[in-house]
Structure 1
Amino acid sequence: MILKGAAQPGADLVRDVSLPALVIHRDALEHNIAWMQDFVTRSGAVLAPHGKTSMAPALFRRQLEQGAWGLTLATAVQTCTAYAGGVRRVLMANQLVGRANMALIADLQDDPAFEFYCMVDHPDNVAALGAFFAERGQRLNVMIEYGVVGGRCGCRTEDEVLALAQAIKAQPALALCGIEGYEGVIHGEHAVDGIRAFAASLVRLALQLQREGAFALDKPIITASGSAWYDLIAEGFEAEAASGRFLSVLRPGSYVVHDHGIYKEAQCCVLDRRSDLHEGLRPALEVWAHVQSLPEPGFAVIALGKRDVAYDAGLPMPLKRYREGVLPAVGDDVSACKVTAVMDQHAFMTVAPGTELRVGDIISFGTSHPCLTFDKWRTGCVVDEQFKVVEAIEITF
């Protein structure tokens, strides 16, 4: 069976690949992986990139080879997929709920080389995990999740965290290994102040739990950080001297390919806050598609839709036009054109004055929020500067 967008190494993206296709530019990809690894290392932390962004084992391997401490994942099934791809240390930034999911992790833990951590935020889940893993004769590494009011999971108060630590202590099959939080749900005019306060609170709780002897590790884990505010979390951990007493773990994921939308804007804010960072991340991900129809003046229908590209955080952005037979295909700027709507398999695009399009032209599109573009695909094309496919990567959602 031929998967959509599938291509063999050596194929010419403009001429040989069935479109639409998910395209990853190798140079930008390699830059991003090295850039984030260097940033995290210089911050006194370790990197556990969130694998749910891509669910591409080939990208996991690149991240680990560059020095990542482990991978962050969101579910037991994702953890099994990463394990099958060679990942042996997983931080599941989520609660492990349900016996079937617990059984998946217990099966992986039969491998002594596999190291796993998950989150807990409620006594009911602590009791269920303790009973299940006691039955299996295993010990499960857990971390307390600390959240914010109106956010996602996590204990809402410091008192709840301390009480949950006591509940974990009563379960011999559980080992409390650290504390975790997620700052990406903090928004508003004073988000920066809120995130800094959250990071300080996370460290303060970790220190209190450490003083009380709650942790099973001499150097417990403290972790937070999505893809937008990782610099503030790193600074917060450094400011509270967390690295000396804890293993500080940062977990951005979207940086691996970056984007042309929300994370591009977030990266500009990072660079504004950090004058020592002279270059940031580069957009590596595009979706390429044909001009399918030109039914009216100034209007084009593109063979690209909701089944191919994210649309939750902004519509795809036209970047360049390519034509078969025009080699090397340097591309023409079509960024003045604008996608106005997407349907299942079609995108509506206004054609800017002076832009000449033909049916069959190829347009590269930038995206916003790469997580929800990756999950539309089973194969992605990694290409070099000449748009030759150097690798076809499997995507395993």
Structure 2
Amino acid sequence: MFTLTQPEKGLPVTGDSLLTDVSLPALVLHQDALEHNLKWMQALADRYGAVLAPHGKTTMAPALFRRQIAAGAWGITLATAVQCAVAAQAGIRRILLANQLVGRANMQIVADIVRQTDSDFYCLVDSVENVRQLGAFFAERQLRLNVLLELGVADGRCGCRSDEQALAVAAAIQAQPALQLCGIEGYEGVIGGAQPQREVDAFIDRLVAVALKLRNAGAFSVPQPLITASGSAWYDRVAAAFSREEAQNAFLPVLRPGCYLVHDHGLYQRAQQQVLARQPQLQDALLPAMEVFACVQSAPEPGRVIVALGKRDIAHDDMPVALRVWRQGATQPAAMGEEWRVVRLMDQHLFLQGPAEHDLQPGDIIAFGASHPCLTFDKWRRFCLVDARLKVREVLQTCF
């Protein structure tokens, strides 16, 4: 039997050097890139006359929520009732649950948010039955719930598939005194196919058309209802559609990208390249702010390096990308070229394939890029915000 006298040993603290004082692997955000991305997306929303409600499920880090609000965001979007409670406890005062609110336990969480905080809370509905359940639950508690009607796409996720279904749901909401229809929502990120931009544009145009039809029918309970869409790939097309006169005069346009804050080295890097191709007037781009640092563990055979990093540490939608290496005792990194490829990932081991003759040694530190952010953050309870010298400026927590 032994006593662990320093249980926090190795966990990062402010002022630590990432390379010498922090137990690796570690999730790392680069401060300069993070600040750049905050300003970049806020400026884009401002340019189109929209507001931001960034999707908080990406990081589930309340400290980053507050940074987004401080930079000008209108509110924060979440995916579950529990996530919404985290945001409310962190002082976020506009919360958009971009999902249907189902299940009595989840409804109770939201009822507590509505009753106990001054948060403006919104959730989605797409069926008469869900409207009935919500209306009865919140009426019993003498509370009023703000809802947005969700419009969907064929073979997509949730959302009304036809105008007739949308009108029926809107009518059901009007029959429930405990509910008020405050806008309309859609999500274009499930659209694919051979011509995705054409399909995305058509869907957003339809979203605007249905919203105007509902407004003309007097379906909304507020003078300026919300119209909201946008993941982290098509936000420029959504913003352009929402900025047209008929939409902007009638609604508050709300954009909900989440991954822009930290960006990545895979899926969203490719999406950003497409945004820049569509928007040549943009002067710069989002920057990858998120990396995972890990140590070389073994070099057991020619061209094969094993790194102490695995599926429990980093997303693997695409394989991680080896970016830079710090040799033992070095303060400056060397770039890792395309000759180095991650070929396999296990729970806690990464297989890195490279030249047969190389000088990587156990203890060398490699920075890896990931795709995509959401499935990297959920593997960590603490992460480091570092400056250009890799000094830890803050240690932030996630709340998954």
Distance change in 2, residues 1:205/1:336 (3 Å): same
For each residue in 1:200-243, what CA deviation from the matched residue of structure 2 results, as whole angstroms up to 9, or x when unmatched?
Answer: 10000110100110000111000000000000111111236311
Specify the alignment match of 1:320 in structure 2: 324
Specify the alignment match of 2:167 in structure 1: 162
Distance change in 2, residues 1:24/1:4 (3 Å): farther
Amino acid at match of 2:321: M
Q: How far apart are the structure 2 equivalents of 1:38 and 1:233?
A: 15
Distance change in 2, residues 1:5/1:393 (3 Å): farther
Any residues of structure 2 matched to 1:62-81 within 5 Å, and which?
A: 62-81=67-86
Q: How far apart are the structure 2 equivalents of 1:306 and 1:81?
A: 26
Amino acid at match of 2:60: M
Superposed CA RMSD in Å reads 1.4
Distance change in 2, residues 1:296/1:77 (3 Å): same
The answer to whether the 8 Å contact 2:311/2:348 transfers is yes
> Which stretch of the first structure deviates more once superposed, 299-308 or 329-338?
329-338
Which secondary structure state, in structure 1, belongs to the residue aligned with residue 224 of structure 2? coil
Q: How far apart are the structure 1 equivalents of 2:8 and 2:318?
A: 26
TM-score for both structures, normalised by structure 1: 0.97
Counterpart selection for 1:288 from 270, 285, 293: 293
Which secondary structure state, in structure 2, belongs to the residue aligned with residue 184 of structure 1? helix
Q: How far apart are the structure 2 equivalents of 1:315 and 1:96?
A: 34
Distance change in 2, residues 1:206/1:89 (3 Å): same
Amino acid at match of 1:32: N
Q: How far apart are the structure 1 equivalents of 2:390 and 2:209?
A: 50
Q: How far apart are the structure 2 equivalents of 1:271 and 1:5?
A: 41
Any residues of structure 2 matched to 1:178-257 within 5 Å, and which?
A: 178-239=183-244, 241-257=246-262
> Which stretch of the first structure deviates more once superposed, 132-141 or 343-352?
343-352
Specify the alignment match of 1:113 in structure 2: 118
Amino acid at match of 2:345: V
Q: How far apart are the structure 2 equivalents of 1:4 and 1:119?
A: 45
Q: How far apart are the structure 2 equivalents of 1:264 and 1:332?
A: 19
The answer to whether the 8 Å contact 1:322/1:332 transfers is no
Q: How far apart are the structure 1 equivalents of 2:366 and 2:68?
A: 29
For each residue in 1:180-200, what CA deviation from the matched residue of structure 2 results, as whole angstroms up to 9, or x when unmatched?
Answer: 000000001111011111111
Specify the alignment match of 2:3 in structure 1: none
Amino acid at match of 1:368: S
Any residues of structure 2 matched to 1:293-372 within 5 Å, and which?
A: 293-311=298-316, 313-327=317-331, 329-352=332-355, 355-372=358-375
Shift of residue 353 of structure 1? Answer: 5.2
Shift of residue 335 of structure 1? Answer: 4.4
- In structure 2, the gaps of 5 or more residues are 1-5
Amino acid at match of 2:78: L
Which secondary structure state, in structure 2, belongs to the residue aligned with residue 241 of structure 1? helix
Q: How far apart are the structure 2 equivalents of 1:116 and 1:34?
A: 25
Distance change in 2, residues 1:226/1:26 (3 Å): same
The answer to whether the 8 Å contact 1:4/1:378 transfers is no
Shift of residue 3 of structure 1? Answer: 7.3
Q: How far apart are the structure 1 equivalents of 2:220 and 2:86?
A: 29
Counterpart selection for 1:126 from 126, 131, 139: 131
Specify the alignment match of 1:377 in structure 2: 380
Which secondary structure state, in structure 2, belongs to the residue aligned with residue 109 of structure 1? helix
The answer to whether the 8 Å contact 1:4/1:19 transfers is no
Q: How far apart are the structure 2 equivalents of 1:180 and 1:332?
A: 44
Shift of residue 293 of structure 1? Answer: 0.8
The answer to whether the 8 Å contact 2:296/2:365 transfers is yes
Q: How far apart are the structure 1 equivalents of 2:104 and 2:110?
A: 10
Distance change in 2, residues 1:5/1:275 (3 Å): farther
Which secondary structure state, in structure 1, belongs to the residue aligned with residue 35 of structure 2? helix
For each residue in 1:10-63, what CA deviation from the matched residue of structure 2 results, as whole angstroms up to 9, or x when unmatched?
Answer: 000111110000010000000001100110111110000000000001110110
The answer to whether the 8 Å contact 2:53/2:76 transfers is yes
Any residues of structure 2 matched to 1:245-284 within 5 Å, and which?
A: 245-284=250-289
Identity rate, percent: 56
Which secondary structure state, in structure 1, belongs to the residue aligned with residue 185 of structure 2? strand
Q: How far apart are the structure 1 equivalents of 2:185 and 2:86?
A: 23
Amino acid at match of 1:320: R
Q: How far apart are the structure 2 equivalents of 1:101 and 1:141?
A: 15
Aligned length: 395
Q: How far apart are the structure 1 equivalents of 2:229 and 2:7?
A: 40
The answer to whether the 8 Å contact 1:3/1:379 transfers is no
Which secondary structure state, in structure 2, belongs to the residue aligned with residue 144 of structure 1? strand
Specify the alignment match of 2:34 in structure 1: 29
Amino acid at match of 2:158: C
Amino acid at match of 1:322: W
Shift of residue 374 of structure 1? Answer: 0.3
TM-score for both structures, normalised by structure 2: 0.96
Are 1:85 and 2:90 counterparts?
A: yes
Amino acid at match of 1:315: M
